Structures are given as C-alpha cells and as structure tokens.
Amino acid sequence: MTQIGKPPGDDALIRHGCEAAACPQSSKPWVLAAAIIGSSMAFIDGTVVNVALPAIQRELDATAFQAQWVVESYALFLAALLLVGGALGDLFGRRRIFALGVLLFALASAGCALAGTVQQLILARAVQGIGGALLVPGSLALISANFEKKERGRAIGTWSGASGITAAVGPVLGGFLVDHYSWTWAFLVNVPMALAVLWIAWRHVPESRGSSAGSGLDVWGAALATAALAGIVYAFIEAPTQGWRSAAVLAALSIGIGSSIAFVAVERRVRSPMLPLSLLRIGNFGGANLLTLLLYAALGGGLYFFPLNLIQVQGYSATVAGAALLPFILIMFAPRGRAAGGPLRAAPAAGGGGRASRRRASRCSRCRALARTTGRPSCRRWWCWGSA
C-alpha cells in the first residue's frame, strides 16, 4: 500500500463544515502552508520508501518478507487509526492533534534513519504510521476549520496541486538521496519539514474543535474501527505468505469482519458517532470511497513491485526508477486542480472591484456568451477563473 494523493471522501469531509474560531485573513495562507507541508510529509514518505527499499533490503540484509513489512507496518497503523485520528482532533483540538502527529512522525522518521536492524526499522515505521494517522486527517480539518465555504474550493485546489507536486518530486528526490548519500536521508528529509510545520502551527494556526467536542470520544466506535481495519489489513498482508487457511490469517479476518459489523451497530445507536453513517448516503462521499478502494487495491501491488523490478532486475539507478513514476503521478494529479476550483485567491471585498475582479468578471462574461452559443456551462472549464 502506498500513500499517494488525498484520502477517500475528504472533499465531502471538508465541505461538511465545522465549528471554528474566526481565522484572520492574514493567517489563512499560513494555515494552508501548514496543511500542505504536513500532508506532503506523508505523501513523500509513501513514494520515497518504495524507491529506497532495494538499498534498505541490501544494507540491512532483509528478506523479501521483511522488506514488505517495512512498507506494510506503516500502512497497517495508518489505516487502523485514521478514523481515530480525525475523532481525536474534533475532541481535543485540531491544531493540537495535528501538531502531535507531525512531531511523532518526525521522531519516528529519525528513528527509521537510526535503525540498525530491519526489525528496528519496521517498529519505527509502525510509529510513523501512528503519526500519519494523526496528521493526515488533521491537515484537511485545518482547511475546513479556517476557510469559509466560498473559499474552500480554492483552498482544496491549492492543496491538491501542491500535493501533486510533492508526490511527483518525492520519488526523484528519494532516488537521488539513495544514489548519492544513503537511504537514511530518505527519512531524515522529513525532519526539517516537520520543524517548519510546528513553527507555523504554533505561531499562525488558530485552535478549533468539532461540534461533538463536548460529548466525549466514541470509545467503542474507536476501538471497533481500529480492530476492524487492523484485522482485515493484517489478513490481506499475511495471506500470501501464510496462506488463507492459516490460523493467524483466519483469526485476523474474523476479528476484522466481526468488528466491522459491530462498528456499524454501535454507530447507529450512539449519540455522537465517530463516523455518522448518514454520510454514506451522500452519493459523492460513498462513490469516492468505493472508487478509491478499487483504485488503490489495483495500484498498491504495482507501486510496490515496479521500483524493485527496475532497480534489482533491470539495473536502473534509484534516481531513474523514481523518475519512471513521474508520468503516473502527473496523470493522477493533473485533473485535481481543475475539479477543485484552481489556485487559492482572495475573495473580492464587498462592493469592491479592482482590476482582478473586473478581469474575472470579463472572463465569466465571455464564458456565458460561449455557453449561450454552445449550450455548455463553459465557466466551469479549467481556463476560466471566474464563477457562474
């Protein structure tokens, strides 16, 4: 499993809205910068590790099974605790939990670089996954909490575009560091990024909580969600090695399925559920989650074996292997800036105008004229910056 791109259904999450303290206009660029850099740490890490994996396997004398767990230990804890991380942010403060996730991720990255054995590396990667489960939903929640509805589309577009850039740079940067220095620098690159995020969060990001903050944590929901996701993910990781009939795989799968059924039952009855099941009735939310499941189920294995094949079988350098991922990443991210509304821009002042607003209005007028002749809503196309 590789973390490229944004988690499923986050657009619906962001647009769902939340209770938040007023964010000064001057702080909004800083909030967006913290969200971009924080989530970029997880995105870069997801692509860099696959490129660095052959060097890690060689220097730590790891077996293929152990090399797989270097990747999957991170994915296991990230998947198992992602819902819990979002719920903790709503309860204890989004900035606080986001900053805690960034700090934990940075410390675990340093631990990965200092690991002397593959077992130590796997343990540090698991801690990295816990940090990622706190910072990834927190970065998106910061956008929701500090941008009004009319600004969120632009913020999402900026966040998505920056995520595409960092995901594209990650494999090439990781390959360069592996070829010219050491695989440890593929993890140490996270430390200065984390320090920058922590400084921005401390100085410029206001604190906010969810509407259910006063009702406490949905403990049963959190425990069942963690058990469900961990059990199912562990079973799929271990099944190719141990076989689907092994006791460990069957036990993990049974725990995962049973916990999933119990989670649905609990969430239908609790007053403040961690995951409101009504969200699943929203077509965009449910469809985005299903599409993401199918997409990453197909791509997960390919993104794991592709760099290994290029480096170990085809004889490519780590830098070239990382660059080989660029077309896929660029194609994946290219439509996002258009769909989300393009780069972030300040909203025009009420009753004001100015050259920028007149230019946008002029473009919209041309689009409306074109729409009348073609019968298509041209103002929604990528070359228009205005709004209908």
- Structure confidence by residue, pLDDT tens digits, 142-168: 888 888 777 877 887 788 777 767 777
Summarised one tens digit per residue, pLDDT across range 93-151 is 888 999 999 999 999 999 999 998 999 999 999 999 999 989 888 887 888 888 877 78
Q: Do 126 and 210 belong together in one domain?
A: yes
Distances in Å between the Cα of 279 and the Cα atoms of 9, 33, 94, 128, 213 are 10, 28, 21, 29, 19
The predicted model gives 87-92 an average pLDDT of: 84
What is the C-alpha end-to-end distance of the chain, expressed in Å? Answer: 40
Same domain, 44 and 75: yes
Q: Is residue 345 part of a domain?
A: no
> Within 13 Å and on the Cβ side, how many CA atoms surround 74?
26
- Predicted local distance difference test score (pLDDT) of residue 68: 82
Residues 289 and 335 occupy one common structural domain:
yes
157: amino acid identity, one letter: G
Q: What are phi and psi of 332, to 5 degrees?
A: -70, -35
- If we measure between CA atoms, which residue out of 41, 21, 168 comes closest to residue 112? 41
Name the H helices within the chain: 10-16, 28-59, 64-92, 94-114, 118-146, 149-180, 185-188, 190-204, 219-242, 247-267, 283-308, 318-323, 326-333, 336-340, 354-374
**Are both 275 and 381 inside the same structural domain?**
no
DSSP 362-375: HHHHHHHHHHHHH-
Tens-digit pLDDT profile for residues 28-41: 888 888 888 888 88
Among residues 240, 362, 202, 288, the alpha carbon closest in space to that of 13 is found at: 288
Report pLDDT for 16: 44
Examine residue 249 and state whether it is found in any structural domain, yes or no. Answer: no
Contacts with 366 (C-beta within 8 Å, 6 or more apart), sequence order: none
Percent of the chain with pLDDT over 70: 76
Mean pLDDT (whole number) for 206-223:
73
> What pLDDT sits at residue 347?
41
Q: What is the pLDDT of residue 97?
A: 92
Same domain, 182 and 279: yes
Q: Model confidence over 49-71: pLDDT tens digits?
A: 888 888 898 899 888 888 888 88
Q: What's the number of CA atoms in the CB half-sphere (13 Å) around residue 127? A: 18
In a shared domain, residues 107 and 150 = yes
Total count of residues recorded for the chain: 388
- Tally of domains in the chain: 2
Q: Give the residue-averaged pLDDT of 340-350.
A: 42
Residue 230 lies in a domain: no
Residue 75 CA to its chain's centroid (Å): 12
Are both 107 and 29 inside the same structural domain? Answer: yes
For residue 206, give Cα distances in angstroms to 33, 59, 84, 125. 14, 44, 22, 30
Q: Has residue 265 been placed in a domain?
A: no
Distance of alpha carbon 163 from alpha carbon 326, whole angstroms = 13
pLDDT at residue number 300:
67
Q: Are residues 195 and 290 in the same domain?
A: yes
348: in domain: no
Cα gap 20→127, rounded to integer Å = 30
Q: Residue 327 is part of a domain; what is its CATH number? A: 1.20.1250.20
Same-domain pairing of 139 and 46: yes
Asked whether residue 258 is domain-assigned, the answer is no
Same domain, 133 and 37: yes
User: Which amino acid type is present at position 342?
Assistant: G
Q: How far is CA 45 from CA 53, 181, 237, in A?
A: 12, 17, 20
Query: Looking at this protein, which amino acid is placed at residue 52?
Result: A
Tell me what pLDDT residue 230 has. 85
Residue 33 belongs to some domain of the structure: yes
Question: Rounded to whole angstroms, how far apart are CA atoms 285 and 205?
Answer: 28
Query: Per-residue pLDDT tens for 243-263?
Result: 899 999 999 999 999 999 999
Answer for the pair 133, 101: CB distance below 8 angstroms, yes or no: yes
- Same domain membership, residue 386 and residue 334: no
Pair 388, 365 in one domain:
yes
**Is 78 a domain residue?**
yes
Residues spanned by the domain of 103: 10-218+270-340
Residue 240 pLDDT greater than 60, yes or no:
yes
Give pLDDT, residue 212.
57
pLDDT averaged over every residue in the chain: 76
Is residue 22 scored above 80 in pLDDT?
no
